[in-house]
Amino acid sequence: MREPAPILVVGSVALDTVRTPFGEAVEALGGSATHFSAAASFLTPVRLVGVVGQDFTDEHLRPLVERGVDLEGLVRAPGRTFRWSGEYGEDLNNPTTLDTQLNVFASFDPVLPAAWLDTPVVFLANIDPVLQERVVDRMRSPRLVAADTMNYWIGSKPAELRRVLAKVGIFLCNDAEARQLTGRRNLVDAAEEIRRLGPDVVVLKRGEHGVLVFDPEGPFAVPAYPLQRILDPTGAGDAFAGGFLGSLAVDLGRGKPDYRRAAVMGSVMASFQVESFSLERVRSLTPADIEARYLAFERLTRFPAYARE
Amino acid sequence: MREPAPILVVGSVALDTVRTPFGEAVEALGGSATHFSAAASFLTPVRLVGVVGQDFTDEHLRPLVERGVDLEGLVRAPGRTFRWSGEYGEDLNNPTTLDTQLNVFASFDPVLPAAWLDTPVVFLANIDPVLQERVVDRMRSPRLVAADTMNYWIGSKPAELRRVLAKVGIFLCNDAEARQLTGRRNLVDAAEEIRRLGPDVVVLKRGEHGVLVFDPEGPFAVPAYPLQRILDPTGAGDAFAGGFLGSLAVDLGRGKPDYRRAAVMGSVMASFQVESFSLERVRSLTPADIEARYLAFERLTRFPAYARE
């Protein structure tokens, strides 16, 4: 087939209140599935499975509707939408969580529309590994399954998370999570250890330091783009995953997946994500913007061959 | 000319006692000029200006002699050699300094052999900016001058350091130092600010996260090589500088300096430096080792072109 393969994503849809040294967003559209879908939608059709509350309006949803994300799997449940509130310091690294209200997300049980069970690419965003496993078990022979997680699940549900790892081909996490999961300080050791648990490909996200990909062909490193204007890092990891899996979905329509090109596409989408609050920058991207940023990554990383005497 | 241009380096020669989670070295050869010279010596002739005490033996000196470093500018002064002692924790980032004995280094006043004043490439390693300026003022129209520094000088001699910056073409420091020097948190801003102070090229060293180079052609990023076995990061920054300036010295013998190839050569030498204590790994390198590691950096960073539809 020549068409990009569609992606099914399961994750959170949230209303985020975020303060950074450069501004603030109040109850803006956020959540892992949201940021993932917006980024991936530039590359392939996206099917979103999630839950929102009765307070969630059409206005909230507009950016995803505009991006053509299929929302048949987004359930509206009695109660309020998941809310997260956090604040970033000068270094724009780990935010301080000010408030988390799980609301309808506390009893989230993903509902997969029957027509979606054959979706070839699946992204299990950062949710309870019990739910991640339930989703992957219901899918009918997907060609690519990727999962993300967070420190909370590594600490509280290690056995459940290992069952997920045994069932996915690609695992994404940040470097601290890789260390927590494996007890290995060295990232090469940690990635090898994770690959022994199941995934063929491990992607270590390092924020402003870029990404390390470990696949059967060896390590690949791509730096984060050195941006002058970073407003809000929220969602960068999910936008990365969206660009990464979106690129692999395009490859699947053509032949062999290329994890390196995918990691650069992920980095491209993450670089746009951090240039604004919520989805402001990403929702207004054009294909030309994306190609130009990809070329900027080429210029950022290219160097001449070894100079023999 | 076809020959690589010689480099003159001014900096410390020390006896380091270092403990890391992977072992210990006691009174082993160290110092910024030492690590720089050993690395650069694989690319071009190196002339070392420094000072040691009367306790410094031929045995201590052997690795530099073996590497063919010209030691005519290494003065033996009355007293004991500069000693530094430090310990690295699990993360192998900033060491805890356990002891610093400046000894003969406290009254170091670089003595430049007359025949060396025409050396075309100069590296002012991390020493008092007053001494750095004195050296650069004595040199006769060098073609490339680079300087390093540290947080201590940025804090204690800011005006003197700025005078040095106005006289050098290349400045190397780590990201924390760039922020301290400029008061800018964003590294792109910090590098631009430093370039306004004089240097055309700014190299930000980020340890395990690699290097960012800012030159008139825009940013260049090279990751650190993801190594499984890191014994001791001491000297990595100076080994980087040695590979970096060594490569530029080779270029000068041929035409235009290439800062990107130089940054990769610096990263190659730094990657060897951290694989052992003191000079153990670096001193035994072969040209084939260096070329192989350069090719490993190519494999680490290469990715396919943008896939248009």
Q: What pTM does this model have?
A: 0.95
Q: Which domain holds residue B48?
A: 7-300
> ∠ at Cα B36 (B34, B40), nearest 5°?
120
Residue B309 resides in a domain: no
Residue A308 resides in a domain: no
pLDDT in tens, chain A (309 residues): 578 999 999 999 999 999 999 999 999 999 999 999 999 999 999 999 999 999 999 999 999 999 999 999 999 999 999 999 999 998 888 899 999 999 999 999 999 999 999 999 999 999 999 999 999 999 999 999 999 999 999 999 999 999 999 999 999 999 999 999 999 999 999 999 999 999 999 999 999 999 999 999 999 999 999 999 999 999 999 999 999 999 999 999 888 899 999 999 999 999 999 999 999 999 999 999 999 999 999 999 999 999 876
Interface of A to B at Cβ within 8 Å reads: 90-91, 185-189, 206, 209-210, 212, 218-223, 226-228, 230, 247, 250-251, 258, 260-261, 263-264, 291, 294-295, 298-308
Residue B2 resides in a domain: no
- Judged by CB atoms closer than 8 Å, whether chains meet at B303 and A212 is answered as no
Q: Pairing state of beta strands A121-124 and B211-215?
A: unpaired
Assign residue A166 the CATH number of its domain: 3.40.1190.20
What is the least distance, in Å, from the CA of B306 to any CA of chain A?
A: 7
> How buried is A205 (Cβ within 10 angstroms: 0-12 exposed, 13-18 middle, 19+ buried)?
buried
CA distance A170 to A36: 15
What is the least distance, in Å, from the CA of A53 to any CA of chain B?
A: 38
Residue B308 resides in a domain: no
> How buried is B133 (Cβ within 10 angstroms: 0-12 exposed, 13-18 middle, 19+ buried)?
buried
Give the dihedral of Cα atoms B184, B188, B194, B200; nearest 10 deg: 180
Residue B161 resides in a domain: yes
φ/ψ (deg, to 5) at A227 = -90, 145
Nearest C-alpha neighbor of A210 from the set A248, A237, A179: A237
Q: Which two tokens stand for residue A58?
A: 């059409």
Q: Which helix (H) or strand (E) holds B99?
A: strand B96-101
A96 Cβ neighbours under 8 A, 6+ residues apart = A86, A87, A88, A89
Residue A153 resides in a domain: yes
Residue B305 resides in a domain: no
pLDDT one-digit tens code per residue, B144-182: 999 999 999 999 999 999 999 999 999 999 999 999 999
Report the chain B residue with the minimal C-alpha distance to residue A295. Answer: B306
Residue B286 resides in a domain: yes
Per the structure, how many domains does chain A have? 1
